[in-house]
Amino acid sequence: MKHSIQSKLPNVGTTIFTVMSALATKHNAINLGQGFPDFAMNEKLTGLVSEAMKSGNNQYVHMCGLPLLRERLAEKVNHDYGCNINPDSEITVTPGGTYAIYTAFTTILQPGDEVILFEPAYDSYVPNIEINGGVAIGIPLLYPDYAIDWKRVKEKVNSKTKAIIINTPHNPTGSVLSAEDIEQLRSIVKDTGIFIISDEVYEHLIFDQKEHLSMLRYPDLLERSFVCFSFGKVYHCTGWKLGYCIAPSEIMKEFRKVHQFNCFTCHSPTQYALAEFLTEKNQYLELGFFLQQKRDFFQSLMQQTRLKPLPSFGSYFQLYSYEGVSDDSEKDFAIKLTQEAGVATIPVSAFYKNPIDNKVLRFCFAKKEATLEVAVNRLIKYFN
């Protein structure tokens, strides 16, 4: 008999990031699609990794992460968010933020459990939920501010609601949760068994003096949360695929059962290096300012095009509306710009289970000024 697979993800194709990056390469386009910096990372940090390798720190570290790194992370979140986290029982180092989120879903979901998410949503969430037998309940964010419609959330919560996944600063829109959002979330989960999965990979990429409202600040929310982070975003090394999850010990105990037989332990030399480098707080505390300058530089260049910016308060990303410029669908327009203008972007409709097309594209501005200049010059030429 011929082998066959009954797909666990029958409706899933290749992620939009891979599709658009491949198209960018094919057409020699500037890639403002997939989110990654094109500038160099800190040389001291790469030097620390080399040192760790040369000193022989190349074997398995503890399955939950190098103890010194977890200690330093506990100090970091205490400094940043005023929380007391036990590095032994409440932090697990993971191969990236996506893995932390996936593992959190695998830890809690039983078939038929519902998870509320806000769309546009980072594209791994729905498949992560569905592969674990869960049902993704998408609630559209309110265009054009992409605010959460809390009334809709209240209507959707029921006895099957197992979790709500939030993401602040938000990919792809750059919106951030406000104190009022936190109050709404509090009132909804109070007296329920609902978990919160909090995707905070852009915690330090926040602009205009806004504060990052981490779940770690609120003991009543933290007690039900998996808070997921990524070093890739903090230190300009997305390819390192290293992150961590923070959760209360009894929840973390179950998370670790899943983690130990999937990944077991992560790349060790980078953990030694990060444990050392984390003590230099300004390296991450100044990140928001650094990226805000890039956002502003990009926005000022883009004024020369007919595309209209939407607000971005955080992340690597800036949305632009092309309403009135083209009637093409977002996907078609993104492909056309890649092929004909030589600039790759991401269609925001790719972040919906049932695509909504508002005629907006996502641009990644975490690039050298020269890259942004070449890209915008190409757009100006194309539109004129």
Footprint of ligand PMP (CB under 6 A): 35, 96-98, 122, 167, 171, 199, 201, 230, 232, 238, 241, 243
Between 171 and 379, whose beta carbon lies closer to ligand PMP?
171
Q: Residue 167 half-sphere exposure, CB side, CA atoms within 13 Å?
A: 26
Which one of ligand PMP, ligand GLN, none is in contact with 288 (Cβ closer than 5 to 8 A by kind)?
none
Contact partners, residue 190, CB within 8 Å, separation at least 6: 220
15 in contact with ligand GLN (CB under 6 A): yes
Eight-class DSSP state of 266: -
In angstroms, what is the minimal distance from the CB of 324 to ligand GLN? 26
The packing angle between helices 97-108 and 249-260, to 10°, is 110
Binding map of ligand GLN across residues 169-198, x = CB under 6 A, - = no contact? --x---------------------------
| First CA to last CA distance, the chain | 60
Whether 213 and 179 have beta carbons less than 8 Å apart is answered as yes
Measured CA to CA, the distance from residue 194 to residue 161 in angstroms comes to 7
Between 118 and 333, whose beta carbon lies closer to ligand PMP?
118
17 in contact with ligand GLN (CB under 6 A): yes
Between 87 and 169, whose beta carbon lies closer to ligand GLN?
169
Which token pair is 280? 């230099």
Give 362's strand partners: 319, 346
In angstroms, what is the minimal distance from the CB of 122 to ligand GLN? 7
Whether 334 and 305 have beta carbons less than 8 Å apart is answered as no
Which one of ligand PMP, ligand GLN, none is in contact with 167 (Cβ closer than 5 to 8 A by kind)?
ligand PMP
Sign of CA dihedral 333, 338, 341, 346: positive
352 in contact with ligand GLN (CB under 6 A): no
Which one of ligand GLN, ligand PMP, none is in contact with 97 (Cβ closer than 5 to 8 A by kind)?
ligand PMP
Between 61 and 101, whose beta carbon lies closer to ligand PMP?
101
In angstroms, what is the minimal distance from the CB of 14 to ligand GLN? 11
338 in contact with ligand GLN (CB under 6 A): no
Neighbours of 39 (CB within 10 A): 13
Whether 205 and 287 have beta carbons less than 8 Å apart is answered as yes
Binding map of ligand GLN across residues 20-39, x = CB under 6 A, - = no contact? --------------xx----
SS3 67: helix
Measured CA to CA, the distance from residue 318 to residue 172 in angstroms comes to 8
Which one of ligand GLN, ligand PMP, none is in contact with 15 (Cβ closer than 5 to 8 A by kind)?
ligand GLN
Site residues (CB under 6 A) for ligand GLN?
15, 17, 34-35, 171
